[in-house]
Structure 1
């Protein structure tokens, strides 16, 4: 016994349905954000975050973890991060270089995933630093939006939001470097044969 929970091949589980719902809300979130409807966009983001927590809890509690769920959950997370950063950059509320930093790191992970697949490996396990970086971005972006939705809070939320977002972007790349090193470590013995 490895201590890892058994993953099913089931598609229609409650956690997967919640994840599909999160994915369907991404374009709604992006449109609201680009239209400057910040309170509505923030509401969609909060609902999405709650369903993210709920799908993970249900999957673990009721043993409904699936391979599809392992793909949908991080995909939804990435799409919300992309939608938030692109929507805010479109409105010139965050610099485009921040978009490049965040999207560039995920492009690196995509390339690493292709390299690993070419060597017969699946994706690397998620590193704790990657989870912390994602959490920081998920906290920083909504705080930026909170200042937009409730201008009275902006003097307090914006400095905290920017500190967390920039720290999250730094950690995002630090985790990316760890994934790069791990990929090289995994494929190096195969190349030596």
Structure 2
């Protein structure tokens, strides 16, 4: 399947739409239009939930989609964390941890892929929990701006602490899994 055919696949178009939504969500947050930002974030979430299902349903799973989908997810969350930190809606340390983890994983994945050492980068359980905590955090922050006092203030603190623990733990788990898989691969090559 050519690159253009992969690009035109319905799931990849949904992923591209998610990428397209990012700057508009940022603009709405910076303009204090949190209701619109929340709607755009929910639309991005729906597109994320649908693209994989549609790919399987239509038989349109593509190599481009395998790379584009996680990139879109990381870019959306990282950009929104930067934005809500700029607006003083989450503590800076949370965004630093989110970025440090994602940058480290991206760097290691790129190096392993480029050197043809490892090409399968499935998320770990802690990685999925970390991503879930990030999504819930953005959702809660935006909801609180639309509907003030909807949740107790402790929810923000619990979410921030969750990310503060999950980000480094999931990065460590990811490093351990990659190290183990490389070691297993080396052992099987030498045997």
TM-score by length of 1: 0.84
Residues 7 and 64 of structure 2 are in contact (CA less than 8 Å); yes or no, is this contact kept in structure 1? yes
Cα 1:93–1:55 shift into 2, 3 Å: same
SS of equivalent to 1:10: helix
Counterpart for residue 145 of structure 2: 148
Residues 6 and 12 of structure 2 are in contact (CA less than 8 Å); yes or no, is this contact kept in structure 1? no
Choose which of 19, 22, 27 in structure 2 pairs with 1:23. Answer: 19
2:36 matches 1:50? no
Residues 117 and 182 of structure 2 are in contact (CA less than 8 Å); yes or no, is this contact kept in structure 1? no
Alpha-carbon distance, 1:11 to partner: 2.7
Q: How many residues align?
A: 184
Choose which of 53, 63, 88 in structure 2 pairs with 1:67. Answer: 63
Alpha-carbon distance, 1:108 to partner: 1.0
2:26 matches 1:41? no
Unpaired runs of 5+ in structure 2? none
Deviates more, 1:30-39 or 1:14-23: 30-39
Misfit runs of 4+, over 6 Å: none
Unpaired runs of 5+ in structure 1? 1-7
2:122 matches 1:125? yes
Counterpart for residue 4 of structure 1: none
